Structures are given as C-alpha cells and as structure tokens.
Amino acid sequence: MIKEDINFKEAGRFEETRFEKIHNVIFDSSKEASLLVAQEIANLIQRKEELNEPCVLGLATGSSPIKVYEELVRMHKEEGLSFKNVVTFNLDEYYPMDKDNIQSYFYFMHEHLFNHVDIKAENINIPDGKVSAEELRQYCIDYDMKINSYGGLDFQLLGIGRTGHIGFNEPGSHVNSATRSITLDHITRVDAAPSFLGVDNVPRKAITMGIGTVKNAKRIVLLAWGISKADIVKETIEGEISSQVPATYLQEHSNTTFVLDTEASSELTRVKTPWLVKSCIWTDELKLKAVVWLSGLTNKPILKLTDKDYNDNGMSGLLAEEGTAYHLNIKMFNTLQHTITGWPGGKPNADDTYRPERSTPAKKRVIIFSPHPDDDVISMGGTFDRLVEQGHEVHIAYQTSGNIAVSNDEALKFAEVSTVLNSASTESDSIIDFLKNKSENDIDSVAVRKLKGLIRRSESLGATRYMGVPDENVHFLDLPFYETGTVKKGNLTDADIAIMCNLIEEVKPHQIYAAGDLADPHGTHKVCLDSLFEALKRLKSKSFMDDCWVWLYRGAWHEWETYEIEMAVPMSPDQVLKKRYAIFYHQSQKDGVMFQGDDSREFWVRAEDRNRATAKKYNDLGLAEYAAIEAFKRYHF
C-alpha cells in the first residue's frame, strides 16, 4: 500500500488531539502546502515508472488544486518529470456541458495541466458532459469499470465544497455510491456562480465519481484553503460520520491526509481553543483570544469573569501565570480599550503611549488601497471620512478597474446615452452591437471592458468627491493582472508591482491602508494584497519607509476576530449614514450585483451589519457602546 511518503507532519503543523478523526496538517500558506502535495504525486509517478506500472491518479478541478498542477507542470518542464505512464480519472463534470465550453472541467484540466505535460491523450478520462440521457447510466458504470481495470486509483486528489461534498457527492450521498449523475446543491451552484457570470447559468446537474469509488483509492489527499472552508473542515474532521456531510466518510479511510492552510484550519478545536486540549504557551495574543472567548462563553463582560470561570474552562494554567482573574481581567480590558480611537491618523499633541497610531506628524500622508473601486468606502468609509476631516492628505488608489462586475445591461445603457450625445461615434455603435449579440461564452471586447471600467471610475469619483478628496489624489491603477476580461485573472508581474511602487514612492505615505484578505485563494483581494507586500519588500530600504505604517482592513466578507483588532475606529450614527451615502455612489454594484455570492444583502447593508456587530462585540466585552466600529490590524513588514 502506498503510504504518505512526504513528511507533511514535519513540514506543517501537526498534532493529534482527541477531537480529530482525520489526519490533518496545517501550513502557513497554500503555496507551500501545494508544493509538497505535488512532490508526493511526482514521487509516486516516478516510483510507478520504475516498476513499469501505470500510475493511476484521481484528479479534481476548482481553485484548490491549481497550485499543485502549476508545480507539476514546472517539474515536467524543468526537472523532466514525465507523465507517460500516468492515467488520470477526473472526479466530475457538469451535465450537460460541452468540452470546449470554458466552464467545462475538460477545459480546466487541459488549461491547467494536460496541455503542458506529456500525458497521452488516451490516458485522460474526464466524465463526458455530452453523453445522452439514455446512455448516461451505462456510461457511469463503464467509468467505474475502467478505473477498476487499472486496479483502482493509486492516488486521489480532492477539494471540499462548503456543503461537505467531495467530487460532486452532495449531502445525502451514500457511502457506497458509484459514479452517477447528481443534482447540484444550491450552495454549490452559488459558489460556482462567479465563473458562470450568475447562478442562473450554472448547470443544475453533474456527473460525479461516487463516494465508494473515491474511498477505494489507495491514498487520498484533500486540500482546503481559505476562511470559507473553515466551518466545513471542522465539521468533517471533528463531527460524526453523516451522509449530510459526505466528506466525513473519509474518516473511515485509513490513508487520508487533509492539507490545510491557517485560515481553513481556524475553526478546529486545537486551533481555535487550544487551551481545551493541551497546556499552552501563553503569548499576549493567546491570552486575549482566550479571555474574549471566555467572556463570550459565559456571557459576561471581561471585568466580571471569576477565577472559577477560568478554572472551569481549561484556563487554570493561565490563571497560575497571571495570579488572579482580577489582575488578568483588568490587563485584557485595558488592552482592548487602547485599540479604540477616533483619531485613526493619530491624535495631534496627545500622549500616544497607549494609542494605536503615532501623534506625529500631525498631518499625515495616507494611501488607501482599494482592490476594487468601492472597497474603500465599503470596508473603511467611516475611517476614510475621519482621516479627511482631520486634515490628513488622503490618496485613494483603486488597484483594479473592476470592469468584470459591470453588467451588460448597465454598459448598454451608457453606450446608448453616448450615441445619442455623440451621433457620429462608431465606437459606441460597435459596443452596442457587441453587447446585443454577446453569447455566454464571449469575453468582452476591449472597448466594452473600457466602457465598463469607465463606469466604475465615474462612480468612484462621485464617492471620493463626496468624501472631500480632490480628484488629483484619486489614482486608478488598472493593474494589468486583472485585465483578462474573465473571472480568472493573470499572475502578478513586474508591471503590476512597478505601478504599486511608483505610487508609494510618489506619495511617501505615513500610513497605508489595504484589504487584508490574507488567505482568499482565488480572490482579486489576495492578489492585490500580494502586490502591496511585494512593493513594500522592494521599497523597504528607502528612508521614507521607516515612517510608514500599514493597516489592514478585512475584505468585504469578513471582519477580524476581536482579539486580532489593533485599531478600532468608532462611528457615530451620522457617520454611519455618511458612509452609506458614499457606498450608494457605486450604482453598478447596487440593486442586485453580478457577484452576489450567497449573501443577498446589498453591500451597504452588509457593511452596516458588520460594523454594528463589531461595536456590539466590544460592548458585550464591557467596553463603551458605539453605533458602529471599523476594525484594523497592523501589518509589520
């Protein structure tokens, strides 16, 4: 039997606790983890080649395995890894689906792996999304028989859906299920909606390898990245086996490893509340995390927690270090209290010993980086307002054009107005013609993309003018990595980093704000953040950088955990309203947007709910009651 040969345990963070029913290893980044998984696959391919046997791989699509495939392609090109003895069986395909549709898994696999390695075409097996309804049943039986004819899968690579699906085995799937057609869960279709430009375009059915087929693999590695997988990863690893979470069937497989990044592991008991499973090294951050958790658990403000509360909840070790609950409570309360400031740019002429920001210079130069043209006001509209009001020189830098998120109808509206105003415009006429005849598989023409980008520019300028920023301080960076015209973006290149560096050098900021989606594996936010980190690395030796502090707001969907917050900027009810009006300027993103996700709230509602929730958390911990709070974490580079 093929056993895990790469030492994942040593490379990542591994611990066996009584809660965990599946072997799992945690890595700081999905990249680092993906390289190891690719190495295990490469070792297997080579071992099988030496034995002169085919290497039978079960493969997955989706965002999770992309870096594994990238690394395998690199190994093929640079290290001569050959796929001549490899036979692959993909987990699934949408149904019905044409092979040449860019949404097909057939297209995905060729684009990410098969077109770049020396695998034989006849060794590639991907369920056929075009098989007729009458033939489908027999087709699925044959697919399993073909796998069995090779002696089963040597290795199965998996991702996990938020429903707990593996392959497309949605909740309800039987442990012994075979390859078959299946109706997709609504959540799965919502998750696929961005690539299909709307949930209505996502097929309702798919062909999937069964749980029984997957479980017969000799070795299984499941990849999960990002915060959106954290809940299902916990349920799968710690919960009971249930058809409602099909991935839990893997608890019965004796050679499975879950490879996780920090965010995907964040709900595991050993990560979230380590004091419940082991004795801890009590860093300041862990102390605050534990106290905030205890306050939530007991429903008591921090200053009312007792020795008994600590002792009853696995924290007697902490108490022994700190003396009494009384002392620990005060210390933690003060730590949180000191994060609150109405002066995000620092309070001039004030003692700043216990303030999140420096008091000098009193007037700071600030750059707010916004991945899309609206994240600035959605994520930090209140803080933005204070920075301007308090006289700082505020620059806004929109990193991408955001053109992909403007609907065709919206663009058509502007193009039609433009032809009326400008009767001789052939450009508008060609745009109108393109949009009226556009089919599902078409990528927007350059002219259409330009128009969509311009729509977002003018909305952004409306908002920044409303917030009191002069136009010359608003920068549209249009980073090239974004300009593919599709949901899938290019890689960061020097051209992107140079644009970032130029702006930072020009402004020489004392403060930078940026969207801190640290582990959003497929998102534009993560790429934008990487571009900033790389720029900071390149500029680090410049003297002005010594005075530059970086504050991260969390992206549009999540907020920092309370214990992570280092600057909390409260908002009055009037400021909440002002922020709302600023968000309203982004009209193409209102009243039902293209990339809605499974949260049907408008962006301004989400922003207000989130800021109100942060304020409530502070208040529940015993701190002052505010209408809303925006939260930031400092990034040390």
Q: Which residues contact ligand F6R by CB under 6 A?
A: 60-64, 91-92, 159-161, 165-168
Nearer to ligand F6R, 56 or 60 (CB): 60
Nearer to ligand F6R, 91 or 487 (CB): 91
| Contacts of 349-357 spanning 24+ positions with Cβ under 8 A | 356/566, 356/567, 356/632, 356/634, 357/511, 357/549, 357/567
**Rounded to the nearest whole angstrom, what is the least distance from the CB of residue 67 to ligand F6R in the complex?**
11
Spatial distance between the Cα atoms of 464 and 398, rounded to a whole number of angstroms: 11
**Rounded to the nearest whole angstrom, what is the least distance from the CB of residue 248 to ligand F6R in the complex?**
14
Number of H helices, E strands in the chain: 21, 17
Our answer to whether residue 170 is catalytic in this structure is yes
**Rounded to the nearest whole angstrom, what is the least distance from the CB of residue 336 to ligand F6R in the complex?**
35
Q: Which residue has the tokens 């489908």?
A: 136
The structure tokens listed for 374 are 């609206």
- The β-bridge relationship of strands 92-95 and 205-208 is antiparallel
- In this structure, the number of other CB atoms found within 10 A of the CB of residue 426 comes to 8
Q: What are φ and ψ of residue 551, in 5° steps?
A: -115, 130
Nearer to ligand F6R, 113 or 552 (CB): 113
Q: Is 436 exposed, middle or buried (0-12, 13-18, 19+ CB in 10 A)?
A: exposed
Nearer to ligand F6R, 160 or 629 (CB): 160
Residue with nearest beta carbon to ligand F6R: 159
Q: Where are the alpha helices (DSSP H) in 208-340?
A: 211-215, 230-238, 269-272, 284-298, 307-312, 316-322, 325-337
Spatial distance between the Cα atoms of 261 and 223, rounded to a whole number of angstroms: 9
> How long a stretch of residues is the chain?
637
Which H helix or E strand runs over 574? helix 573-584
Active-site position among 20, 40, 170, 630: 170
**Rounded to the nearest whole angstrom, what is the least distance from the CB of residue 159 to ligand F6R in the complex?**
2
Nearer to ligand F6R, 106 or 482 (CB): 106
The structure tokens listed for 541 are 């030796």
Spatial distance between the Cα atoms of 95 and 90, rounded to a whole number of angstroms: 14
Q: What are φ and ψ of residue 14, in 5° steps?
A: -130, 135
**Rounded to the nearest whole angstrom, what is the least distance from the CB of residue 227 to ligand F6R in the complex?**
12
Spatial distance between the Cα atoms of 126 and 147, rounded to a whole number of angstroms: 12
Nearer to ligand F6R, 167 or 516 (CB): 167
217 close to 150: Cβ distance less than 8 angstroms: no
What's at 99, amino acid-wise? K
Spatial distance between the Cα atoms of 394 and 396, rounded to a whole number of angstroms: 7
Nearer to ligand F6R, 226 or 344 (CB): 226
**Rounded to the nearest whole angstrom, what is the least distance from the CB of residue 108 to ligand F6R in the complex?**
8
**Rounded to the nearest whole angstrom, what is the least distance from the CB of residue 58 to ligand F6R in the complex?**
10
Catalytic residues: 170
